[in-house]
Structure 1
Amino acid sequence: MLHIAVQIAETTTEHAAEAPLPPLAFGLIAFGSLVAALLFTFSFRNVGNRHAGVTVHADSGH
């Protein structure tokens, strides 16, 4: 029984699945998404200083 399974495994060929896009496209998509994440993060660079003059009191009830 095992001998038959080994023979079948030796005779079958494996076909690798092709990628839906060329490798350059994957790189460009990754680069674009990382640049978008960088710009999104960079947009919050000065938020702490915008409200520097506002004081928050713990007993204000808000």
Structure 2
Amino acid sequence: MLHTAVQIAESTTGHAAELPFPPLAFGLIAFGTLVAGLLFTFAFRNVNNRHADVPVSHDDTGH
């Protein structure tokens, strides 16, 4: 049983698909995406203080 499984595994192993980019490009794309997310988040760091003077009504009418 084990011998048959090994033979099947050996016959089905093939060459893996080629990457569309070099591995370094994937790292740079991921790094750029994370930096863009950081900058987007950093842009909204002070929104709460900008709207601190806007009065908030807490009545029973709901939202």
Shorter chain as denominator, the TM-score bin is: 0.7 to 0.9
SS at structure 2 position matched to 1:32: helix
Partner residue, 1:14: 14
TM, length-normalised to structure 2:
0.71
| Structure 1 residues not aligned, in runs of 5+ | none
Deviation at 1:55, TM superposition (A): 1.3
TM, length-normalised to structure 1:
0.72
Q: Which amino acid aligns with 2:21?
A: L
Q: Tell me the alpha carbon deviations over residues 5-60 of structure 1, each in whole angstroms, 9 at most, x when there is no partner.
A: x756544551111111001100000000000000111111000000111211123x
4+ residue segments displaced more than 6 Å: none
RMSD: 2.7
Aligned identity (percent) is 75
| Structure 2 residues not aligned, in runs of 5+ | none
Count of residue pairs the alignment pairs up: 62
Pairing 1:17-32 to 2, within 5 Å after superposition:
17-32=17-32
Is 1:52 paired with 2:52? yes
